[in-house]
């Protein structure tokens, strides 16, 4: 009995949900890639991390702790 390969999963663009194009993966087009890049530039996406030195100084001066910060 021969095994048939599983159907290949279709990858979808995270911006418009269209099928991806190899040249622009994980996106479907340059337009969607540029939209995503713009979101990074406009701080629409953020990677959580430790506060900057300036934020830490303000926190120390105000007598608060990290849980008191407003995002």
Does residue 56 fall inside a structural domain? no
By 3-state DSSP, what share of the chain in percent is helix, strand and coil, each rounded to 5?
40, 5, 60
Does residue 36 fall inside a structural domain? yes
What pTM was computed for the model? 0.56
Does residue 40 fall inside a structural domain? yes
Does residue 16 fall inside a structural domain? yes
pLDDT in tens, 25-60: 999 999 999 999 999 999 898 888 776 667 667 777
Phi–psi pair at 12, nearest 5 degrees: -115, 145
Beta-ladder partners of 19: 12
**Total tally of structural domains belonging to the chain:** 1
Residue 55: its pLDDT value, please?
67
Does residue 17 fall inside a structural domain? yes
Boundaries of domain holding 32: 12-45
Residue 69 tokens read as 């910060």
């Amino acid at each position: 009995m021969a095994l048939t390969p599983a159907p290949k999963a279709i990858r979808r663009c995270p911006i418009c949900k269209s099928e991806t194009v190899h040249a622009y993966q994980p996106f479907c087009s340059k337009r969607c890639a540029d939209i995503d890049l713009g979101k990074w530039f406009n701080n629409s996406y953020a990677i959580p991390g430790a506060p900057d030195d300036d934020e830490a100084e303000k926190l120390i001066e105000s007598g608060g702790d990290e849980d008191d910060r407003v995002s």
